Amino acid sequence: MFWQRAWYRHGVDFRLWLLLPLHWVFCGLSAVRRWLYRIGLLAVYRAPVPVIVVGNISVGGTGKTPVTEAFIQWLISQGLQPAIISRGYGGRGPFPQLVTATSSATAVGDEPKLLASRTQVPLVVGANRQQAIALLLKQHPEVSVIVSDDGLQHYALARDIEVVVVDGQRGFGNGWRLPLGPLREPLSRLQHVDFIVQNGESASPKLASAQQPFWRFDLRPDGWRRVNQAQGTQTEPVTLEPGDYAAVAGIGNPQRFFDTVAATLAAEATIRVVETKAFADHHPFSAADFAQFNALTGVLMTEKDAAKCQSFAPDHWYYLPVSAQFETEFWQQFANQLQTKQKLHESARSTYGG
């Protein structure tokens, strides 16, 4: 938590300068690793179907998971049969593993479980993307396009389209790379991706100065649901009971959730958020984490956190699903790019008899 607060302050916290040697080591190793992939000394796997990578160049929450869901829903609307691969961060495995709505978040990770519940498409988790894709296509040979949830820096996997998600609220922090700042890759990486999509309005002059075109999207709340009920789009919104609530979040940018809750409940005079509590991203929630809120009417949380709390949540805990909304023009541009990549794959299959 200290690191993220320091990264997103104006300028570089003087205590971070102690990490300057590690910063140069990180930058050097990253550059060498990418160069080895570029010249072919490290092997790159290319899937037999188009691969779309949805990732980011910074650490922390940017809205990547709802963007991944939006891409899946759009692909379905176009008559395609998409699937998802994910590292399964925070999950204990075994890997690779096929994820369903009934999978344990402890085993597969909170974000994959959420995506499986929301999209109902095939999803496999595993740090080795080639193994994940092999299992995915073995179990679901009908899949025609794969969306990789994260993996922008996983250069062992060839990708057809790269989509970078940027947090418009926090931007790129102090603009430095790890561990001095939140960047996994330099800002110049944005010049080589296919699409940059930004969560909300821009607060980052660095993105504007990069002179790279980008598309905005909004995260729209979709009504409160009970945590102890099955997650997914099939559940119906419920009305919160009047009283005092705590809002908790174990995500990369908890303040965004707290702001969303405040805006959503602004007109509800009988419902008050009297306490907010931020946990570390991917925090492994247990019932003990909520004992301090027992005197309150209930608890409000994100959908990602709810995936880990469903088994022990009482009726007065609620989560707020959100969906990413893009302009029609964005989807038109994306469709053109995807069609080009599909033709290349079809040409390769006809040439090599795949």
Specify binding-site residues for ATP.
58-65
Distance from C-alpha of 102 to C-alpha of 116, rounded to nearest angstrom: 9
Dihedral, CA of residue 138, residue 162, residue 150 and residue 199, to nearest 10:
-140
Q: State the DSSP code for 32.
A: H
Counting Cα atoms < 13 Å in the Cβ hemisphere of 121 gives 28
CA angle 150, 323, 258 (to 5 degrees): 90
Annotated binding site: 58-65
- Strand order of the β-sheet with 123-125 is 97-99, 123-125, 82-86, 145-149, 51-55, 161-167, 195-199, 215-221, 322-325
CA distance 327 to 323: 13
Contact 48, 349 (CB under 8 A): yes
Measured from the Cβ of residue 117, the count of other Cβ atoms closer than 10 Å reads 25
Q: Where are the beta strands (DSSP E) in the chain?
A: 51-55, 82-86, 97-99, 123-125, 145-149, 161-167, 195-199, 215-221, 225-226, 243-249, 271-278, 298-302, 317-320, 322-325
- Spatial CA neighbour of 176 closest among 25, 2, 5, 8: 8
Residues 6+ apart with CB under 8 A from 140: 83, 122
Of 6, 324, 278, 330, give the one whose Cα is nearest residue 168: 324
What distance in Å separates the CA atoms of residue 107 and residue 316, rounded to the nearest whole number? 26
- Structure token pair of residue 237: 């919104």
Contact status, residue 163 vs residue 171, Cβ threshold 8 Å: no
Phi-psi region of 150 (alpha: psi -120 to 50; beta: other; left: phi over 0): left
